[in-house]
Amino acid sequence: METSSSEKEKHLAAMKAVTYIKNGQVIGLGTGSTADYAIREIGKLVQKGLQIKAIPTSKKTQELAESLDIPIIDSNSVDYIDITIDGADEFNEDMVLIKGGGGALLREKIVASMTRKQIIVADSSKQVAKLGLAFKLPIEVIPFASNYVMNQVRGLGGTCDIRHQSGKIFVTEQGNWILDANFGHIKDPQSLSHSLNKISGLVCHGLFIDLADIVIIGRGNEEETIARKLS
Ligand SMILES: O=C[C@H](O)[C@H](O)[C@H](O)COP(=O)(O)O
């Protein structure tokens, strides 16, 4: 499975993250290659007797969890989630994230909002001094509104492309489209988030602000933990 140093770093971060899980908790399962390492580790712990219930953030994650016999529950059956372990495409020193590279940002943001302790796992390449330069900001839109939203994004100083996959428009699990928006260096994520949230037809954007409680970064042969607040 581990083919490169970044895979090793993802694995290290994921292994550390699962140590936060306690018996009886409701666990949010993120989406992506880093979250997958944590899900596989949770599967091993479940086989050894750990009792948890899990809420997946995508069909792919649900399928992986089910294949490992991790019990799945409906997101509407609980009022909160104890711990979620998820990845990120970028994060900065303020623990502001860009997510959505895999197109799962909407369910990921809902799950993060329901979560008491959101743990982000990442390899060291995801840590950036300037958000938005290396990775474009994913924006989920209702297809009917895509041209309108693109014009509004232009008005905010960004350019964007409709995401394609295998020559076709990428459709999210909610039936929406993703715009990958380039704002250059996102100097004021709060302000941009606020402006984006006001656009009709824009369902969700990939800026996660004040949602991460802990970021665990794999760095070489070790992992490093950054915590936003004590709990
Ligand atoms: O939509 C996808 C998610 O936001 C992922 O958590 C993000 O893209 C990071 O994925 P990976 O761990 O594969 O780099």
Task: Report d(CA 52, CA 194) in Å as an integer.
Answer: 35
Q: Tell me what pLDDT residue 88 has.
A: 98
pLDDT tops 80 at residue 229? no
Ligand 1 neighbours by CB, cut-off 6 Å: 30-35, 86-89, 99-105, 108
Residue 85 lies in a domain: yes
* Domain region containing 220: 5-127+209-227
Residue 132 lies in a domain: no
**Whose CA is closest to atom 6 on ligand 1?**
87
Residue 18 lies in a domain: yes
Number of structural domains, the chain? 2
Q: Tell me what pLDDT residue 228 has.
A: 84
pLDDT tops 80 at residue 70? yes
> Do residue 103 and residue 144 come from a single domain?
no
> Do residue 123 and residue 142 come from a single domain?
no
> Do residue 90 and residue 187 come from a single domain?
no
Which tens digits make up the pLDDT trace of 2-49?
A: 458 999 999 999 999 999 999 999 999 999 999 999 999 999 999 999
Which tens digits make up the pLDDT trace of 101-142?
A: 999 999 999 999 999 999 999 999 999 999 999 999 999 999
Task: Report d(CA 200, CA 2) in Å as an integer.
Answer: 43
Check which CATH number belongs to the domain holding 162 and give it. Answer: 3.30.70.260
Is the complex ipTM more than 0.90? yes
**Whose CA is closest to atom 2 on ligand 1?**
102
> Do residue 141 and residue 213 come from a single domain?
no
pTM, entire model: 0.96
Burial class (CB in 10 A: 0-12, 13-18, 19+), 105: buried
> Do residue 122 and residue 180 come from a single domain?
no
CA 94, chain centre distance (Å): 16
> Do residue 187 and residue 82 come from a single domain?
no
pLDDT bin (cut points 50, 70, 90) of residue 76 is very high
> Do residue 79 and residue 156 come from a single domain?
no
pLDDT tops 70 at residue 1? no
Q: Tell me what pLDDT residue 3 has.
A: 58
- Percent of all residues in the chain with a pLDDT value above 90, rounded to a whole number: 97
> Do residue 168 and residue 221 come from a single domain?
no
Annotated binding site: 31-34, 86-89, 99-102, 126
Q: Tell me what pLDDT residue 2 has.
A: 46
